[in-house]
Amino acid sequence: MPKILFLMFASLVLCTSQAMADALKISVIGAGKVGGTLGTLWVKAGHSVMFSSRHPEELTDLVKSAGPNARAGSVSDAAAWGDVIVLSVPYGAMPVLSEQLKGKLDGKVVFSTSNPFSGRDGDVGRKALDEGVALADQQYLPGVHLVRAFNAISYTSMKDQAGKGKAIPVFADDSQARELGARLVRDSGFVPVIFPLARAKDGLPNGPLSGVWNEADLKRKQTN
Ligand SMILES: NC(=O)c1ccc[n+]([C@@H]2O[C@H](COP(=O)([O-])OP(=O)(O)OC[C@H]3O[C@@H](n4cnc5c(N)ncnc54)[C@H](OP(=O)(O)O)[C@@H]3O)[C@@H](O)[C@H]2O)c1
Domains and CATH numbers, the chain: 23-223 (3.40.50.720)
Q: Which of the listed residues 33, 49, 171, 185 should we mutate to test ligand 1's pocket, taking the one with most ligand atoms within 8 A of CB?
A: 33
- Kindly give the number of the ligand 1 atom that is closest to the alpha carbon of 157: 3
**Closest to 161 (Cα-Cα) out of 25, 37, 35, 29:** 37
| Mean pLDDT score, 63-72 | 98
Residue 88: closest CA among 106, 122, 111, 104: 111
Whether the predicted pLDDT of 12 surpasses 60: no
Minimum-distance ligand 1 atom for the alpha carbon of 156: 3
* Mean pLDDT across 24-31: 98
The answer to whether residue 18 scores a pLDDT higher than 70 is: no
Looking at the predicted structure, is the pLDDT value of residue 10 above 80? no
DSSP state of 213: B
Give pLDDT, residue 1. 56
- Give the per-residue pLDDT at 180: 98
pTM equals 0.93
| Cβ 212 vs Cβ 157: under 8 Å | yes
Cβ atoms within 10 A of the Cβ of 114, count? Answer: 26
Window from 18-27, 45-54, 93-102, 127-136 with minimum mean pLDDT: 18-27
Residues with CB under 6 A from ligand 1: 29-35, 53-55, 75, 88-91, 93, 96-97, 113-115, 150-151, 154-155
How many angstroms is it from 115 CA to the middle of ligand 1?
A: 9
Other beta carbons within 10 angstroms of residue 202's beta carbon come to: 16
Tell me the C-alpha distance between 215 and 207, whole Å.
17
- In this structure, the strands spanning 167-172 and 145-149 are antiparallel
**Ligand 1 pocket test target in 54, 75, 121 with most atoms within 8 Å of CB:** 54
The model's pLDDT over 106-159, given as tens digits with 9 standing for 90+, comes to 999 999 999 999 999 999 999 999 999 999 999 999 999 999 999 999 999 999
The atom of ligand 1 lying closest to the CA of 31 is: 43
Q: What's the gap in Å between 72 CA and the centre of ligand 1?
A: 16
